[in-house]
Amino acid sequence: MNFINSDKIRKDFPILQRQVNGKPLIYFDNGATSQKPQQVIDVINRYYQHENSNIHRGIHTLSQEATNAYEKARTTVLQFINAKHNHEVIFTSGTTGSINLVASSFGKKHIHAGDEIIISTMEHHSNIVPWQMLCEEKKAILKVIPINDKGELLIDEFKKLLSPKTKLVAVTHVSNTLGTINPVKEIIKLAKTAGAFVLIDGAQAVPHTKVNVQELDCDFYAFSAHKMFGPTGVGILYGKEAILNELPPYQGGGDMIKTVTFEKTTYNELPHKFEAGTPNIVGGLGLAAAIDYMNNIGIANIEAYEHELLSYATEKIKKIEGVRIIGEAANKASVLSFLVDGTHPSDIGMIIDKLGIAIRTGHHCTEPLMNRFDIPGTARASFAFYNTKEEIDTFILALERALKMLL
Amino acid sequence: MNSIKETQQEIVEEFALFDEWMDKYEHIIELGKDLPLIDKNYKTDENLIKGCQSKVWLHAELKASKIIFTADSDAIITKGIVGLVIRVFSNHTPQEIIDADLFFIDQIGLQEHLSPTRSNGLLSMLKQIRMYAIAFSTKADA
C-alpha cells in the first residue's frame, strides 16, 4: 500500500520545478544532499526576517524567543530519535563535526596506547580519518570489519576482532555507497558484551528509516540535517548522558562555560558544554522543520515508498547489458551504485547531466571500499520520497543513450 | 607546423559545427576512442595525475628543443579533451608553451571540465604542462 502522493509532495520542493540543461531536473543525488521543502525554507526566511537574535544570553524579548525556539528544536530532535533527555542532543555542524567531537573528547578520556578502535570497510572517510588521527596520536590500533561481495559486514569476523582491548566500535548505519543497512542493533550488543563503547554514523539512515537510540542502546549517534531535507551546516550528536558528562569539552568559547577567571574556568552543563560559541541557530530551527515535514508524511511511508523505487530501478537497470550493481545486500536503503562494462562512471555522469539528470560518480568518499571491490568508483543514483517511477524510466532511457555513445 | 594559437582556432572551428551538446560529446568520445595517446611504459604512477573522478597520465620529453607530450585517461570524455590539449601543446618549444594563451576550452564550451569540482585531473594536467615547459626552459638555458 502506497501512502505517498508524489504529485503533491513535489510541489513542496521549489527546486524540483526547475530545468537543467534545458530538461526538467531529475535529482538522484540525494545521498550527497537532499532538496529542501518550502516549509523548511519558510522557517529559515522567517527567522532572519522576524526572529533573529542571539540565544542563551539576552535579557530582551527577541533573544528569549530565539532561545525558546532553539530549545524547542532540540526537543523535536529528541522525539525524532527517542533520546531520553534534551541535554543528550548536542547541536553540531554536521555528522563530520559530531564524529570529530567524539574522537577528540572521548579520545582524550578513554583512548590510550595499545587500545583498539574498530570501524568497517564501508565507512565514509569522515568515519575513518578522525579515528586514524586519534590512533596516531595515542598509539592506538585501528581494526577494520571486512565485508562480503554483496557488501554486507561479516559479523563473525567482527566477533573475532572484539577483545578486552576494544574501546570503541564506530560503524555506519547505512552505507552511502552500497546502500547496505547494517545490523547495528546486533553490532551494538556484541560490542557492549566486549565492554566497548559504540558510535553509529547515521547520516544516511535518518532520511530513510526510524531511529530509536534507546532501543539501539548506542552510546553515540551522529547525523546531518542536510541529508534529511534540512539546511547544510548543522547536525546532531546524540550521546548518553552519563558518558557525555564524563567527557572533557571539545572546543572552548562562549556558552560552554560556567565561570571564567584567568586562573580557572569551570564548564557549563550538558548540552552547552559541547556547544561553544554562537551556534547555527537557524540551522537548528530548519532541522526541526524538516523533522516536522518528515513526520507529516510518515517515516514508515517514506521507507516503504523508497524501497519500492529502489526495487523498480534495480529491476530495470539489471536488464541493461553489462551492468554490474555494486552493493547487493539483502537489506538495502534507496541507493543504487553501478558500473557498466567498458565505461567509466564519470563519462556516464557527464552525459546524463546534459539530459538533466543529477547522479553522483566517483569514490563517494569511500576509497578503501572502492579498493575492496577493486574499482575506481561507481555511478550512484540515490532516491528520495519526492522521486518517481517516471523519473526512473527517463533515467534508464538516458543511461541507454549514454551507453550507445560510449560503447 | 601550426602555432599554438592556430591549432586552437582550428579546434574552435571544428566544434562550431555542433549545435547540440550530445553531438559535441559524441565528437569528443570519438577523439578519445581513436587516440593511442601514451606508451604503456609511461603509464606509471609517476606520470599519474589523480583526480577525484578520473585519472590522467601525462608524459613529457624534449626532442630537438621541442616538448613532446603524450597522455591518457581512464575516462573517455576526459581522454578526448586530453587529446585536444595534447594536439595544441605538443611539439612546441618550452617558451612557446609558457607564452601561450589557452582559449579553446572556453570557446568550445568545455570550461566546466576545468572547474575544480569536476576534479577530473584536467586542471592539474594543464598546470603540469606549464611546469614541464618551465622546467625544460631552464634546462635549455643551462
Burial of A204 (0-12, 13-18, 19+ CB in 10 A): buried
Radius of gyration in angstroms for the set of CA atoms belonging to chain B, rounded to a whole number: 15
Nearest to B52 among A343, A362, A405 (CB): A362
Catalytic one of A62, A190, A325, A365 = A365
Residue among A276, A280, A279 nearest A254 (CA): A276
Cβ–Cβ < 8 Å for A154, A147: yes
| pLDDT at site A360 | 96
| pLDDT at site A255 | 85
Cis check: omega of the bond before A271, within 30 degrees of 0: yes
Domains held by chain B: number: 1
For residue B16, what is the domain's CATH number?
3.90.1010.10
Residue A226's CB is within 10 A of a number of other CB atoms, namely 25
Judge: A376–B74 Cβ closer than 8 Å, yes or no.
yes
Cβ–Cβ < 8 Å for A304, A297: no
Which of B114 and A250 is assigned the larger pLDDT?
A250
Greatest distance between any 2 Cα atoms in chain B: 49
Continuous segment of H or E residues that includes residue A353: helix A345-354
Distance of CA A240 to the CA centre of its chain: 19
Judge: A361–B53 Cβ closer than 8 Å, yes or no.
yes
Asked if residue B39 has pLDDT above 90, the reply is no
Residue A297 grid cell: 508524511
Q: A135 catalytic, yes or no?
A: no
Nearest to B54 among A344, A354, A405 (CB): A344
Please, which pLDDT band fits residue B125 given cuts at 50, 70 and 90?
confident
Please, which pLDDT band fits residue B38 given cuts at 50, 70 and 90?
confident
Please, which pLDDT band fits residue B118 given cuts at 50, 70 and 90?
low
Judge: B75–A344 Cβ closer than 8 Å, yes or no.
yes
| pLDDT at site B112 | 76
Instruction: Write out the residue range of the structural domain in which residue B87 sits.
Output: 4-141
Judge: B52–A406 Cβ closer than 8 Å, yes or no.
no
Please, which pLDDT band fits residue B52 given cuts at 50, 70 and 90?
low
Spans of chain A, pLDDT less than 70? 1-2
Asked if residue B92 has pLDDT above 90, the reply is yes
Q: Which residues contact A372 (CB under 8 A, 6 or more apart)?
A: A121, A146, A147
Query: What are A148-193's pLDDT values in tens digits?
Result: 999 999 999 999 999 999 999 999 999 999 999 999 999 999 999 9
Quick one: CA torsion of A25, A30, A35, A37, rounded to 10 degrees?
110
Cβ–Cβ < 8 Å for A222, A88: no
**Ordered domains of chain A (ranges, CATH):** 6-30+298-406 (3.90.1150.10), 41-295 (3.40.640.10)
| pLDDT at site A356 | 96
| pLDDT at site B3 | 94
Q: Could you report the predicted ipTM of this complex, rounded to two decimals? A: 0.86
Which of B71 and A323 is assigned the larger pLDDT?
A323
